[in-house]
Structure formats: structure tokens, C-alpha cells
Amino acid sequence: MSYLKIAFIAFLFPFLVTENKVAVVNFDQLQTYAAQKADDTLYVVNFWATWCEPCVKELPAFQQVQKKCEGHKVKFIFVSLNAPRELNKVQDFVDSHNLGPLVLLLNSSNPNGWIDRVDDSWSGTIPATVMYKSGKKVYFREGEFTPESLEKVIQSKNK
């Protein structure tokens, strides 16, 4: 009987430890995840924070559309703008909301140094979403998405 328990636990262990880990990156490292990719995948980069109510409200829309896009050339990257000292808080949020698979925490003490590099029309308000394809920015938007509006934009940019 104990052999079966051990075998069962050994079988489940890989599934139990596959939580998404939040990586802390600087802006140049962030660029390598999406903006500098020269492939035909559409990279959807969502800037958010745990303390931002509209961001948290919007995340289920991204998760819903992300599921619909499985198997297609669309990759979602969630970039937290929480302070680096809040890494544990962000990790707890990611775990409890099953957010992922790629969540990054941007370590930048000067947002004015990189916001214009994302989009020169960005006021710094979050949530904000930028999309890249073939190493080029193809879309930018400040504000919330509904699942329908996000899916429509993705379809139009992923042709």
C-alpha cells in the first residue's frame, strides 16, 4: 500500500511544482523577450501592477484570449510594474491567479527612461499593451481590454 502512495506522489510531483516563476528584468532584457524577436509570432506585452485596479480587472480577459490562442503563433508576456522589493507579492498574485506562463517584473528606477521607447504616445498610465511581430511594434494601447476587443486586435495583427 505504501508503495502505491509513493508512486502516486512521484507521478504528481512534476505537476505540483510547475508554478510560474516571476523573473526580474531590466528594460533591455525585456526587449529581448518580444521587441527584438524577428520571427512571425505575435508578442502581446501587457504592462500591469498588482496595485492597479483596472489592470487586475483586465487580466481575466487576457487569460481568456490566451487560452483561445493556444496552438497559434501568439505569445503573451505580462510585465509587472510593481517595485522590485515586491517580488514576493507579485509571485503570490501570479500563483493565486494562475497568471502566465511568462511573467516579468521590470526593475527600473526611472520609467521616464523607457516609456517613450515602448511608445512615444504612452503617458505612463497602466494597463498598457504593446504588440510586436517580426521585430516591429504593430500596436499600442493604454487602457483596458475586454476579451472581445483584445481578440479582435490580435486577429487583425496576426495575419
CA distance 83 to 78: 15
5 part of a folded domain: no
State the pLDDT at residue 2: 52
Sign for the pseudo-dihedral over CA of 76, 81, 85, 89: negative
**Low-confidence residues of the chain, pLDDT below 50?**
3-18
State the pLDDT at residue 72: 94
What residue type is assigned to position 112 of the chain? Answer: N
State the pLDDT at residue 20: 67
Instruction: Sort 74 into a burial class: Cβ within 10 Å, 0-12 / 13-18 / 19+.
Output: buried
Q: Which residue range(s) make up the domain with 72?
A: 17-157
State the pLDDT at residue 158: 86
2 part of a folded domain: no
CA distance 7 to 155: 45
89 part of a folded domain: yes
CATH number of the domain residue 77 falls in: 3.40.30.10
151 part of a folded domain: yes
Number of domains the chain is built from: 1
State the pLDDT at residue 130: 97
115 part of a folded domain: yes
pLDDT in tens, 12-29: 444 344 456 999 999 999
Q: List, in order, residues 6 or more apart from 125 with CB less than 8 Å away.
A: 142, 143
Strand (E) positions, 17-62?
A: 23-25, 42-48
Local structure of 33: helix, strand or coil: helix
4 part of a folded domain: no
State the pLDDT at residue 16: 41
93 part of a folded domain: yes
1 part of a folded domain: no
